[in-house]
Structure 1
Amino acid sequence: MPTTSSRLPAGSLLLCSLVFAAVLVGCSKPEPASERRGGIQSRPVIAAEISYSPEQVNVEAVGTSRALRSVSIRPRVAGQVESVKVEPGQKVSEGEVLFSLDSRDEALALRNAEVELEDAERLLRRYRQTGDSGAVTQSALDDAESAVARARIAVDRARVNLDYQQVKAPFTGYVGLTDIDPGAWVDTSTTLTTLDDRSTLLVTFPLPELLLGQIAIGETIELSAWRKQALVAEGRVVEIDSRVDASERTFLVRAHVDNSEDKLRPGMSFRIALTLTGNDFALIPELSLQWGPRGSFVWAVIDGVAERRVATIVQRRAGQVLVDLDLPEGALVVLEGIQMVREGMPVSVAQVVNVAGMPARTEPEVSGD
């Protein structure tokens, strides 16, 4: 039987050769120079530009307030109350009379002392007028001068005793409640009322001993009351205790709080909030922080290459992390595309964002021809 030839036509062989050559040329197309480095393809990533920020310690405490100046008013002498000059809650000025005691005896004593002073001064004048005649000895003249001096002291003492019958405000402030009525007998142990200068409150609060040295005079604090619509005020640290309570492991801090609007009252307790600042550390986005067998780290972009850098967490913030990182401010760390990054891998930064996540600057990729 005649055999059938299996050879293809010459035209078909030529067409197959051309198709195969085109496939080879397409497969061997060179990659752009920007996407290759040392024969390894670079990975496009989005990086974050780190900044340095101080460590912040938010502290809360409970403080108790008192008026800047607060006293219990007591009389200097015993006696019967003649009149009450003030009402509870009244604002009085320094030196204003609050209570009057029966002062008739003291007024008579003062008048008597003034009469004795007049007699002593009159006698001294006579002795001096006759001093040249020799009728008065020098000793008698000296006695007369001493008598005048003693009489003046007696007058001053009588005036003081008379003044003690008037109970006066030692400073400007607000009068508290009183149970004293006219006619009541009082002595030096009787509390007539209280007086508070509440234009400024002195708030005392404890802090843990580990914060000793981190808070300083002049530090600003924020206070709020405990009710639903809390009053908020600011204070300034004015005193720090010189010792630590051995049982509580705390130390006391005092702050001045302006109360010129008179909304706060002595004795109120407050929620204290203050922010203490420490050393500066690198601030990075939380998404840039990775974990490995040796702890936390970030991928740093150094001269277009990814490098693993140890990043020890110092403090977490909303969407950000404060870390101890050996990189200068402005250095770049990988933010997106982290999963494909490896040590020493070339990376191309498509975009740079700041720590807050907003674009800081854009670096366009370099494409080949």
Structure 2
Amino acid sequence: MRAARIILGLVVILASAVGGMWLTERLLAAPEPAATARGGDGPLRVETIAPETVTFADAVTAVGTARAHRAVDLLPQSGGRIASIAFQPGDHVSEGQVLLELDSRAEQADLSAAEATVAEAQAAFDRQQSLNRTGSASDAAYQTARAELLRSEAERDRILVALEDRVLKAPFAGIVGLTDLVEGQVIDTATTVTTLDDSSTILVDFAVPETLLPRLQRGQRVELTSAAWPGRVFEGDITHIDSRVDAATRSLALRAELDNRDSALAGGMFLQARLVLDERRRPAIPENALTVEGDRTLVMLAKGDTARQAVIVTGQQQDGLVEVVSGLPASAQVIVTNLHRVVDGAGIEPVARERRVDAAPPGPEGGG
């Protein structure tokens, strides 16, 4: 009985050894999963895209302050009692339009007296001139009459100027601001009547580092944004470059000008300025198509039915795309899927990916 048990144990051990050897041989003979995926069931299916030509820009950002092209505080040329106020705050006025009139009764009376004096002096001069022509009057009397006429005319002109100063007119077309004055109030030449702004053109002052001086020139494009207009970009141009660098900040002041005929911007507003220094069009590919190994940037290209690795030099990033400076042919087909399974030289089945175009939401166009 004991011998039978020993024999049975030996049979079990022998069977286990034979089964283990058979299973080991099968496992060693089985192909690797990656190899099966790449070649056992056919080439790996991948999606490819062609490089997209995109405009890239070198730009610098700064903060700026907007101001009207022309802006003044309006003060009267003479003091007195307000007879009438001919505007409402926020009105758009034309050049030369009357805004305020002061009581001018005294000046009107002075003008009437001056005109009477001029008429009297003119008559005396005419008589002396007639007598002088016939030799009945001396040259001295003639010159005296002429001087008296000139003095009376000068006095009349002075009173006319004083009368004009009783009226405040708009020096240019624009929009008037608030006023606290009322009719009947007495004011002097230091009283601010209102403000006048010509905002059809807006000036924006901002500063950039002095290191950019060699790259600055008039006419460069500036993109401006305001918190008051989310999503809207206003475009202007550099019109003035300061001749001096600020010694405290080592920055250079710039002035941009933009069209504001729709009155979207007002003087004193805070703006974000983006100065475009240089623009270029370069091929670009999606960020997820890149692989970085040390100091090398790699992409996988589809060349026929074979995957090939290429080393490229990249530049800026923009909206999920990376600028390709060099190393990528214009006709290249860049693999963008299954990159973790594709190796250099592997067989592939390339399929062109359709580009997705996202519709931009409608919005107001930028000024300028």
Residue 31 of structure 1 is matched in structure 2 by none
Residues 1:337 and 1:127: Cα distance change in structure 2 (over 3 Å): same
Residue 254 of structure 1 is matched in structure 2 by 256
d(CA) in 2 for partners of 1:305 and 1:150? 105
Equivalent AA in structure 1 for residue 136 of structure 2:
A
Residue 236 of structure 1 is matched in structure 2 by 236
Residue 219 of structure 1 is matched in structure 2 by 221
Q: CA deviation at 1:309?
A: 4.6
**Deviation string, structure 1 residues 324-343 (Cα, Å, up to 9, x no partner):** 2144533444545655443x
Residue 95 of structure 2 is matched in structure 1 by 94
The 5 Å alignment of 1:174-213 reads 174-207=175-208, 213=215
Deviates more, 1:298-307 or 1:243-252: 298-307
Deviates more, 1:209-218 or 1:139-148: 209-218
Equivalent AA in structure 1 for residue 285 of structure 2:
I
Is the contact made by 1:46 and 1:336 (CA closer than 8 Å) also made in structure 2? yes
Higher helix share: 2
Equivalent AA in structure 2 for residue 311 of structure 1:
I
**Deviation string, structure 1 residues 59-102 (Cα, Å, up to 9, x no partner):** 65544333332211111123233333333333433323222222
Percent of paired sites with the same residue:
31
Residue 118 of structure 2 is matched in structure 1 by 117
Residue 151 of structure 1 is matched in structure 2 by 152
Q: CA deviation at 1:321?
A: 0.9
Residues 1:210 and 1:352: Cα distance change in structure 2 (over 3 Å): farther
Give the unaligned 5+ runs of structure 2.
Answer: 1-42, 358-368
Residues 1:248 and 1:302: Cα distance change in structure 2 (over 3 Å): farther
Equivalent AA in structure 1 for residue 316 of structure 2:
Q
Residues 1:326 and 1:214: Cα distance change in structure 2 (over 3 Å): farther
Residue 75 of structure 1 is matched in structure 2 by 76
Residue 296 of structure 1 is matched in structure 2 by 297
Residues 1:181 and 1:289: Cα distance change in structure 2 (over 3 Å): same
**Deviation string, structure 1 residues 264-323 (Cα, Å, up to 9, x no partner):** 543333455676653343312324322223321335678998775542321123342102
Partner secondary structure for residue 96 of structure 2: coil
Q: CA deviation at 1:127?
A: 2.5
Residues 1:232 and 1:353: Cα distance change in structure 2 (over 3 Å): closer
TM-score by length of 2: 0.67
d(CA) in 1 for partners of 2:237 and 2:208? 13
TM-score by length of 1: 0.67
Deviates more, 1:114-123 or 1:290-299: 290-299
Is the contact made by 2:307 and 2:348 (CA closer than 8 Å) also made in structure 1? no
**Deviation string, structure 1 residues 31-86 (Cα, Å, up to 9, x no partner):** xxxxxxxxxxx998755433443323576554433333221111112323333333
Q: CA RMSD in A?
A: 3.9
d(CA) in 2 for partners of 1:253 and 1:225? 20
d(CA) in 1 for partners of 2:307 and 2:316? 25
Q: CA deviation at 1:162?
A: 0.5
d(CA) in 1 for partners of 2:231 and 2:44? 55
Is the contact made by 1:47 and 1:349 (CA closer than 8 Å) also made in structure 2? no
Residue 366 of structure 1 is matched in structure 2 by none
Deviates more, 1:42-51 or 1:94-103: 42-51
Residue 13 of structure 1 is matched in structure 2 by none
Matched, 1:129 2:99: no
Deviates more, 1:180-189 or 1:73-82: 180-189
Residues 1:60 and 1:82: Cα distance change in structure 2 (over 3 Å): same
d(CA) in 2 for partners of 1:269 and 1:92? 26
Equivalent AA in structure 2 for residue 239 of structure 1:
T
Equivalent AA in structure 1 for residue 237 of structure 2:
V
Is the contact made by 1:43 and 1:341 (CA closer than 8 Å) also made in structure 2? no
Equivalent AA in structure 2 for residue 241 of structure 1:
I
Q: CA deviation at 1:187?
A: 2.1
Is the contact made by 1:311 and 1:323 (CA closer than 8 Å) also made in structure 2? yes
